[in-house]
Structure 1
Amino acid sequence: MSSLPSTVDVAIIGAGAAGLGAAHALKESGLTTIVLEARDRVGGRAHTIQASPDVVFDLGCGWLHSADQNTFVAIAEQLDFELDKTLPPWRERAYGKAFPQAERDEFVRALDAFYDRIEQAARSGKDSSANRYLEPGNRWNPMIDAISTYVNGSELDRVSILDVDAYEDTNINWRVRRGYGALVAAYGSEVPIALNCAVNLIDHSAKRVRIETSRGTIEADKVIVTVPTNLIADEAIRFHPALPDKVDAARGLPLGLADKVMLALDEADALPKDGNLRGATMRTDMGTYHIRPFGQPCIEGFFGGRFAQQLEDAGDGAMAAHSIDEIVSFLGSDFRRKLKPLKESRWSHDPFARGSYSHALPGHAGARAVLAAPIDGRLFFAGEATSPHFFSTAHGARDSGERAAKEALAASSKR
């Protein structure tokens, strides 16, 4: 959109999955809408790039989690995006001698027992940090903590057990061959979006809401806010009058950090497609590696939590360098010449994300409902952090946008 309208019925802040879900839900409403996006692209934390001529790379979300309930599955089919239903490389597809199958089985049993203890403890309704449910002295505790950094973006000492228990996972996980980010971008192609339009202030002190942006001011009857929690917590977007309950809720739902690195792999046929590589390391500061996703000539690495933050802060290339060193330690020195850095994500350094996806701090599991609650029939809130059961996912975000749009429509019909 080349010019910004001066007024609309509904303004949507953010063109990620949540904002696009809201915009689609309002398409047939007869209301004028616009999506205001700070970036120069659509998709938010869903972003596909062509890392090399033969490697597609999702810098952000890459898996259609709970695919049998994931609303992006039907969208993919409508938009003619091929779905890949290959088993994920998490349990069934270990590769190499760095993590022998017997030890892997032992680790999986320890991990399952840990989650069973959390589920049982959560029945009391009393919250606490998840690290309290590690079995004292268990050799796999550091690796269980590492798994949390991939799943929650944070170590277990900062994760609420009630939040962990609330998450729903059907254990059916598919992928989009052309990229999840590409699918989300295609989903946004038919809604009105103003790019390079960062929102600074949402002034709801008068009858109509005034929105100050980097491209000028716009007024709206209603506003749907879908930005990541860290932007609300840091007050990068300010509200007037202030909304301290929303800021507090956002601070209880910080974005953890989960980063990815993509390495080109020469002589790729020497390794299996869609394999998993990690070591049986007794430390949390570790990566896990997806060998040849979609059969591509590459290895995709994952890092989370404080270790991901350390690698980001070390600068461009640090994640790739560590990955190559770690992979070589697993597979042998000959692999050093076969690996070449392509691209790495740096989500905590992205000014419009400041992290990857939300987790509830201990004692703050109820903050998701607080953040989602409408204000005065004019301000509505969406985003993965507001999803009660599918938080940290793109489909949870999309569905929350649809929910907020329906709330806005219901409020409009009452006036």
Structure 2
Amino acid sequence: MSAGAVPGAAEVLAPADEAELAAMVAAAAARRAPLRIRGGGTRLALGRPSQAAAELSVARLGGVRLYEPGALTIVAAAGATVAEIEATLAAERQILPFEPMDHRRLLGTDGEPTIGGAAAVNASGPRRVQAGACRDLMLGVRFVDGRGRVVKNGGRVMKNVTGYDLVKLMAGAHGTLGVLTEIAFKVLPAPECAATLWLEGLEDETAIRAMSAALTSPWDVSAAAHLSGGPTMIRLEGLEGSVRARAERLRERLAAFGDVETAEEGPLSWRDVRDCAPFAGRPGAVWRVAARPSMAAAAVARLRVERPVEALYDWGGGLIWLLTPEQDDAGAALVRAAAEAAQGHATLVRASDAVRAAVGAFHPRPGADALAAGLRARFDPAGVLNPGLMAS
């Protein structure tokens, strides 16, 4: 079975519009028939393995619904592909600021990532340290809840943020609170140019101190990453003259950490960092750890005492990608303990169905888990939307 397949899925429901989707969800709720929500199919391997008998695809709910370049807003159907939206924005020299991750290389999946899928998992790339996460750029949503009701929350323009909390709740809910049908985003002008400062040979702790020095500088850093045993990368973006001047000043600030090179390309691209490419196609489990940056290196060092671990740090150390052996529980107890010691949490992103079913993908947090269960009971009382996917 390919990564992300639904075990035993006998039916694929592909509504042509929101009304048909709502009717299908209502019918499933009446029968208490679980549904696996699908966009482009590139992220179906996230979370616990699905036990749903049917998939509900939003692939036919596509297209850009509204685009106002002057207002820096775009509204798209959930089934619109990220590539389509990026192409639309590029024609006006604008971008999705949160730089959404493409999971295909890491998970070994096919298909085209959709904007609904990106929002559902809160996919946020290296520029998060400057522009914010996906949820921070979401202005409004339309979705169908587990009863089959159409819910609209937020707005289509930046000044209209009514119900903003519910907009944020949908980001990262993995389709367990509702099936997204439309999302409004804030967008930004594309940078005129970019430059990356490179340092080689830094130990993890030193690299994090270097990234912190860059991020706390006045030079408006848009990304900072480090691969254990590899390069440390600092990105600057903006107008060409500004980038050149800021890069020179930042080079001076980072000189204490070693030789600093400036180049647009190097051994690792920002797309590679965004997509966790160093761990793609390699055996082992992959964990995503949110941590306090100042504690990130110590957390990884603690893990390495117990088992082999490779690490890729993004967000200046606030996000750690870990590659661990997949034997037994893929190091679940150790990784989660290390994450908690770093005042964070760990998510199992890639592992076999057996491991994900045994240990769960998401970090157990009793208070937050109880709150999430209450929300799911309110929005999906019959428990038909991706049931069990987020169980810890």
Q: Same fold (TM over 0.5)?
A: no
* Greater RCO (Cα-Cα under 8 Å, separation 6 or more): 1
- Normalized against structure 1, the TM-score is what? 0.29
Per the normalisation by structure 2, the TM-score is: 0.30
